């Protein structure tokens, strides 16, 4: 039986889709939320609540700034990005860092860029590792789309993107992303994806680069001194030399990947992080959340806590997802300057190696090609199933 919330979403989506039926083959829809994007995709839209404010742009439904108070009561911007929002387009065409957007239709990597559903094989453009695999949905993923603003209030904004079988994915997909700030203070991200005519894999994710130290001093130039706690991350997906799952799942206990009791990110990062062919001194790994059976998809379950000693800012993450991709910015090389409000020292500060951490709430990477894992119900969606829902709540506080 469908939940009341899901039924409401489906009815609302159905009325919107009915209102936007193409005329004479045109892709221009009568409902404003589904018309071709107009306006400035790089205009910042700022939301506020008690103790928090954040800005977003339509290009990628992307977060560009998030300010919360440090232990001294000073507002700090804790996400990495650019002051000039047009720089995100330049970034997509050059470094392609994925600073702050929604990635998808299928986040992370797909083995060989292929998968099969109901006997039909789909081919996604391989945009990583010299054409060996796709990353975050192919050459032009959700991060490079101009999402339409469907609604906005003082503390909430809703973006819509109608994906018409882009990048080789089967079928049309209606995506609705609502970002809300609350007085706790917290940022809530709710992404709903509804297949309209075919079965399709769906795994959207927020791709935010965090630095809770906000680069306030030399120790906060990296996140190595930050404490990361993931109480349910008992297992990790083994990957090969290009970060594609081998099919093997390993325990984290007693390894450099064990954050179940909390430790500094840099505690074990310089050990050889051997994961089935991957050896390096940076994390870029898919952790499995072995959630309690009573809370398998409970969005209120805290699955991660991150804190910085430099600012005292602490972030708690609650989500309905059963996996986390953790990336400690091993690919950053000090060529991108941090934003003006993050420049706290005499010389210009740049985003160095380990200068940030990405936390992607998602299901198990490449689960569509690993049938032995049994992930289809969490990754394959059809017009007759409940929609895909990715819920994440980031609550901020300061260390006592």
Rounded CA separation 298/318 (Å): 9
Rounded CA separation 354/351 (Å): 8
Residue 288's closest CA among 204, 230, 371, 350? Answer: 230
3-state secondary structure of 206: strand
Contacts of 146 (CB under 8 A, 6+ apart): 37, 41, 58, 59
Rounded CA separation 303/294 (Å): 14
The reply to whether 360 belongs to the active site is yes
User: Omega of the bond prior to 105 within 30 degrees of 0, cis?
Assistant: yes
Rounded CA separation 301/291 (Å): 8
Rounded CA separation 48/71 (Å): 20
The reply to whether 207 belongs to the active site is yes
| Number of residues assigned to the chain | 400
- 128, 207, 238, 302: which is the annotated catalytic residue? 207
- Residue 324 · residue 196 · CB < 8 Å: no
Q: Which residues of 327-357 are buried (b: 16+ CB within 10 A; e: fewer)?
A: bbbeebeeebebbeebebeeeebebbbbbbb
Run of H or E residues at 17? helix 4-19
- 128, 198, 238, 360: which is the annotated catalytic residue? 360
- Residue 77 · residue 349 · CB < 8 Å: no
Give residue for tokens 């898919």: 286
Q: Which residues are catalytic?
A: 207, 360
């Amino acid at each position: 039986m469908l939940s009341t919330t899901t039924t409401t979403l489906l009815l609302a989506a159905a009325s919107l889709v009915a209102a936007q039926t193409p005329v004479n083959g045109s892709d221009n829809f009568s409902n404003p939320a589904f018309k071709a994007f107009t306006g400035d995709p790089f205009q910042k839209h700022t939301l506020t609540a008690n103790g928090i404010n954040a800005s977003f742009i339509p290009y990628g439904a992307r977060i560009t700034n998030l300010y919360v108070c440090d232990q001294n009561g000073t507002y700090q911007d804790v996400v990495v990005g650019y002051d000039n929002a047009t720089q995100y387009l330049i970034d997509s065409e050059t470094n392609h860092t994925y600073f702050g957007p929604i990635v998808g239709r299928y986040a992370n990597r797909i083995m060989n860029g292929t998968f099969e559903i109901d006997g039909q094989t789909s081919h996604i453009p391989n945009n990583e590792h010299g054409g060996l695999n796709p990353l975050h949905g192919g050459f032009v993923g959700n991060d490079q789309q101009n999402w339409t603003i469907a609604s906005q209030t003082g503390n909430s904004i809703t973006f819509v993107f109608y994906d018409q079988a882009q990048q080789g994915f089967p079928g049309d997909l209606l995506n609705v992303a609502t970002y809300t700030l609350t007085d706790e203070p917290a940022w809530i991200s709710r992404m709903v994806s509804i297949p309209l005519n075919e079965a399709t894999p769906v795994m959207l994710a927020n791709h935010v680069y965090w630095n809770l130290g906000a680069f306030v001093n030399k120790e906060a130039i990296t996140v190595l001194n930050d404490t990361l706690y993931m109480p349910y991350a008992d297992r990790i997906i083994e990957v090969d030399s290009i970060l594609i799952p081998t099919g093997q799942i390993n325990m984290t206990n007693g390894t450099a990947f064990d954050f179940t009791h909390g430790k500094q990110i840099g505690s074990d990062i310089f050990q050889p992080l051997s994961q089935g062919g991957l050896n390096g001194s940076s994390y870029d790994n898919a952790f499995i959340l072995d959630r309690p059976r009573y809370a398998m998809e409970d969005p209120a379950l805290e699955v991660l806590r991150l804190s910085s000693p430099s600012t005292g800012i602490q972030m708690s993450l609650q989500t309905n997802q059963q996996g986390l991709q953790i990336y400690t910015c091993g690919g950053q090389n000090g060529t991108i300057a941090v934003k003006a409000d993050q420049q706290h020292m005499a010389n210009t500060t740049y985003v160095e190696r380990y200068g940030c951490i990405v936390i992607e709430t998602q299901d198990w990477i490449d689960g569509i090609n690993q049938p032995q894992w049994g992930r289809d119900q969490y990754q394959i969606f059809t017009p007759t199933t409940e929609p895909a829902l990715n819920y994440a709540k980031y609550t901020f506080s300061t260390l006592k």
